[in-house]
Structure 1
Amino acid sequence: MTPADLAALLHAVTLNVVRDHGLDSSLVPETVVVERPRHADHGDYATNVALQLGKKLGVAPRDLAGWLADAFAATGGIAKADVAGPGFVNVWLAAAAQNSVVATVLGAAAEYGRGSEFGGHKINLEFVSANPTGPIHLGGTRWAAVGDALGRVLAARGGDVTREYYFNDHGTQIDRFARSLEASARGEATPEDGYAGDYITDIAAHVVEQAPDVLSQPDAQRLETIRSIGVALMFEHIKVSLHEFGTDFDVYTHEDSMFSSGLVDECIAKLKANGNLYEKDGAWWLRSTSFGDDKDRVVIKSDGDAAYIAGDIAYYQDKRKRGFDLCIYMLGADHHGYISRLKAAAAALGDDPGTVEVLIGQMVNLVREGKPVRMSKRAGTVITLDDLVDAVGVDAARYALIRSSVDVNIDIDLDLLRRQSNDNPVYYVQYAHARLSALGRNAAELGLEYATDHLDLLDDPAEGELIRTIGDFDEVVTTAAELREPHRVCRYLESLAGAYHRFYARCRVLPQGDEPASDIHAARLALCEATRQVLANGLDLVGVSAPERM
């Protein structure tokens, strides 16, 4: 029985208890919350439904808890229930009900942890979207890992997810990039506002290789040639780096297409027509304060050029035209103002601002030997995705970037991530999977197979802890999707690995010496295989490999 199954059962029993006492059953909450107590002697699960409901019904919460405990204890699948504190109800599951999770996992296999909560939702997930003026830096690398994991989690719960990269090929930064390439091709110093690093030298050489006459072309043509070839080369490098990092995109949208397609003009006309764009001081302003923004935003500047937000408005409209009912933007720490800005733009266009979600990611710092790592040979001034992968590998890099909430700054210890020890979180989880895989191979050599016929024999406390942890996986993935927090999957995997290691230290799985194989061995093998399956499923959700040998 999973926590979700238990919650549904307790909800049904609660409804019956309330009705039997002549009380208003419409006040019973739609969901009965069940949680794992911190201490095993407080039950397998606990619920606070009596505390939630008692005062509403005009009943002392502890009295209601007593009624519920008696009813729960008399329900199939529940071995015992009692009242704790001011009105909590602790519940112990019957062995057969608790251990049925093992059979459920084995039956579902790779599908365990998948659901349909987001079925029917077409979700646009835009992340990374770094300017093609240099390699992906650490902030973009964090989004490459977290964004890909979030896409996997949302898809696992039924969402129709499109991963999108907004290709910024319009504006002054691209011009600075082109001038930097030209200076390098001429052997001149980097412009004061330009880009530096070995990658500029490499790309400039490739531009000259593809267009040998580029430096003798007329000014406007020369800069356009350098820009178009240089941007294409840089973006190809970005895509290759992301692919090797395990992050691929379904769609690449060019910022320039928002202007060339006429969509910017279309949006401006619509906003003027509905009164949400007004003229002041020769510029056109969005009435964004009417929709929760802290100030109105200039959309068309007084010189007639479009401000950056004009492209943002058109891009949002483009997503809606493509049928997305949820548009998630994953942006860097310096983009906090975009939350209210983008929601205001959606509302000004006549949409529900809830169609827009903006996730803000905080900074990443690298540490080696206790000291910050600041320099990159390739980029000149910043650490890149390639640098991090070269230092610790794809799995360690992805896991380290995903396992913390994006709301907080994180320090990544390069020495720790290289270490093959339990101090290294990704090693700790992967080693548990490898250990379980080895156990399966050893069992096969002995001619043993797992069986679910006698799961009721799994009555050791360590077995119970491991089974309940396995049963939490479905709820963890659901919560990770609902809250857009894939780090919850990583933290869960670490707790599952810990529960397995404690179980293995206490419960012998395979027969020793001349000991004959028995039903308990087959049942424990089933538990081990279910654990391995959940570890594999969870690692897949964060895009990290599940090695069979380490």
Structure 2
Amino acid sequence: MNLKQQLKEAIEAAIKKADIVEEIPEVKVEVPKDKNNGDFSTNAAMTLTKLARKNPRDIAQAIIDNIDKKAASVKEISIAGPGFINFKMETAELANVIYTVLDKKENYGRTAQESAEKVLIEFVSANPTGDLHIGHARNASVGATLANIMDFAGYDVTREYYINDAGNQINNLAKSIEARYFEALGEELNMPEDGYNGKDIKVIGEKLASEHPEYKDLEEAERISKFRDLGVEYEMRKLKGDLEEFRIKFDNWFSETSLYESGEIDEAMTKMKENGYIFEADDATWLRTTDFKDDKDRVLVKGDGTLTYLMPDIAYHYDKVERGFDKLINLFGADHHGYINRLKASLGALGENPDKLEIQIMQLVRLLENGEEVKMSKRTGKAVTLRDLIDMIGVDAARYFMIMRSTDTHFDFDLDLARSESSDNPVYYAQYAHARICSILRQAKEQGFEVDLQNPVDIIENEQALELLKKVLEFPNIVKGAAESRATQRIPNYIHDLAASFHKFYNAEKVLGENADKTRAYILMIEAVRQTLENALRLIDVSAPEKM
């Protein structure tokens, strides 16, 4: 158990012992912004005021009178302001977090849950009709990081990509390939009105014309079917390659076509009919989504018998539910905001709790270079793609920057800052902290000092060192909070704060000093910092270099 959790439990025990309230609400223990207020503080007395119908300072005093200071490793307690309780901890106990980190190593910060909630995170899910763009890069970064964080926090996480390989867009893809195929055979280009004019389509058409000129003699329906499959296969292979280079991994690649083949679309429709939410009107089949806070009912089957986009999406979420997931998390682009209520309503129509589905909307990213917006790739003269971004600044910077801000805010991505080798660049700043620690540890080894867990650490008293240890101590709770609130930006924020605390300590205190005992203790401490920093960087799939 870490010191923060230990203190939290001691406060809860004190509230119970003082008989302040029957049911104790969650007690929050925070690190004060002003270090003069102590190592930790709690607002528990103020949150209990209404329940206990007492003055918060009186409640605070009752907590202080009943807390077991020894069990909580508390040195001093004081009341501040309207009822904040501030704690100064025994420094020897604070330093013990070093042993915890070095014992758990890559698992420091990981939580194990007795009954892990099964979570499906669906992200990216771009149509296989072209290159991934900057919006997809943000979606991919956030989705992968959220999955990492929730997995580390003890959830049973599955990462999934929904392949839109059916419907009009894929038909247009097939017809576009067909047009380029016949053009390559010497016929006039007959591109459909909503066709795709990308370079990929031309390449596929020319390749097919060269290798399979006999396809021209097939029945049109058979030829289109073949081109559809080949086109999706080509685009998905390229897309998977780009995502792999961006360090994005999926557990499942779920095909929309499989919903038609398995009969799940019909099953979902039958389920909603049985539950009484399907009705016929104006030669169409409708879903009564207004029963679940949607602004209007939605068409599922048009008058000509074709399905709207919503119906296969409902069947897909029906499949998710049938697979036994407790929580469904979707990451959508900014243009999908209006889709939220109808999709949540469809879960209600299937007999599930609509709140089982969480949808995060990715707001837009604007690339800036030399203070001006970048809209076109210098290489191709077209929209900037994920691959362009990797070529421009590398994977580490791209992944780090894409999750620095909350997903519900627009993000100005400064390419010049991402390239810079300065403390202003947050990813460089964090990686430099890790590399600097590795350098110190190499020097220590050359001088005969090893990372030895038998060495005592209770002699650490330097103010900056203790602040650094408090930051290390926070990591498990940062991960837990980021997972619960789905706030991926908290991890890079923490990484920056941890790196800043280390740099501050390094500038104030010599690690390899004349006092051998203190040097041994500091070596253990910075190895604990290095391990924590590496663990945090791993959550966002950013490397922790040993040299820079």
**TM-score (norm: length of structure 2):** 0.94
**Aligned equivalent of 2:527:** 529
CA distance in 1, matches of 2:190, 2:462: 71
Residue of structure 1 in register with 2:155 after alignment: 159
Aligned length in residues: 540
Who is 1:304 aligned against?
A: 305
Match of 1:198 in 2: 199
| Amino acid in the other structure paired with 1:335 | H
1:26 is matched with: 22
2:225 corresponds to which residue? 224
The 3 A distance-change label for structure 1 pair 287 and 157 is same
Q: Write the distance in 2 (CA, Å) between the matches of 1:118 and 1:139.
A: 37
Quick one: structure 1 residues 210 and 458, their matched pair in 2 at CA, closer, same or farther if it must change by over 3 Å?
farther
CA offsets 1:186-222 (integer angstroms, 9 cap, x no match): 1638654332333333333333344333345443333
Which residue pairs with 1:465 in the alignment?
467
| Separation (CA, whole Å) in 2 of partners of 1:133 and 1:472 | 44
The percentage of aligned residue pairs carrying the same residue is 42
Q: CA deviation at 1:72?
A: 4.4
Match of 1:292 in 2: 293
- Cα displacement (A) at 1:55: 4.0
Q: After alignment, is 269-278 or 198-207 more displaced?
A: 198-207
Q: In structure 2, do the counterparts of structure 1 residues 118 and 285 end up closer, same or farther at CA, with 3 Å as the change threshold? A: farther
Compared CA separation, residues 200 and 414, structure 1 to 2 (3 A): farther
Candidates 14, 38, 45, aligned match of 1:43: 38
Whole-angstrom CA distance in 2 between matches of 1:420 and 1:196: 39
TM alignment of 1:106-505, pairs within 5 A:
106-117=102-113, 119-185=115-181, 186=183, 188=189, 191-215=192-216, 217-376=218-377, 381-451=382-452, 453-505=455-507
Given that residues 80 and 92 in structure 1 are in contact (C-alpha distance below 8 angstroms), is that contact kept between their aligned partners in structure 2? Answer: yes
| 1:424-465 CA distance string (max 9 Å, x none) | 111111111111111111111111023454322111110111
The one-letter code sitting in structure 1 at the alignment partner of 2:52 is L
Residue pair 2:275, 2:351 contacting (<8 A) in 1 also: no
SS at match of 1:336: helix
Distance 2:157 2:65 in 1: 46
For 1:210 and 1:404, how far apart are their aligned partners in 2?
48
Shift of 1:471: 0.6
- Counterpart secondary structure, 2:48: helix
What TM-score results when the alignment is normalised by the length of structure 1?
A: 0.94
Match 1:93 to one of 79, 84, 89: 89
Distance 2:50 2:224 in 1: 74
RMSD of equivalent CA atoms? 1.9
Listed one character per residue, the Cα deviations across residues 63-109 of structure 1 (whole Å, up to 9, x for unaligned) are: 22223334448444101011111111111111122111111111111
Amino acid at match of 2:473: G
> Deviation at 1:391?
0.6
Q: Distance in 1 between matches of 2:175 and 2:119?
A: 38
- For 2:382 and 2:164, locate their aligned partners in 1 and report how far apart those are by CA, in whole Å: 21
Report if the CA contact (8 A) 2:14-2:68 is conserved.
no
Aligned to 2:458, the other structure's residue is in SS state helix
Cα distance in 2 for partners of 1:209, 1:404 equals: 48
Distance in 1 between the 2:500 and 2:219 partners? 66
Distance 1:548 1:525, change over 3 A: same
Task: Return the alpha-carbon distance in structure 1 between the equivalents of residues 215 and 378 of structure 2.
Answer: 28
Any idea what SS the aligned residue of 1:485 has? coil
Q: Which secondary structure does the structure 2 equivalent of 1:455 belong to?
A: coil
Q: Is 1:450–1:524's contact at 8 Å kept on the other side of the alignment? A: no
Which deviates more, 202-211 or 166-175?
Answer: 202-211
Q: In structure 1, the residue corresponding to 2:213 is in which secondary structure? A: coil
Q: Pick from 539, 543, 546: which aligns with 1:545?
A: 543
1:254 deviation in Å?
1.0
CA shift for structure 1 position 182: 3.3
Give per-residue Cα distances to partners, 1:265-295, cap 9 Å, x unaligned: 1111222222110111111111111112121
Q: Which amino acid aligns with 1:63?
A: D
- Alpha-carbon separation, structure 2, partners of 1:209 and 1:145: 39
Contact 2:117 2:327 in 1 (8 A): yes
* Contact kept in structure 2, 1:451 and 1:523, CA below 8 Å: no
Asked if the contact 1:118–1:159 (Cα under 8 Å) also holds between the matched residues in 2, the reply is no
Contact 1:199 1:378 in 2 (8 A): no
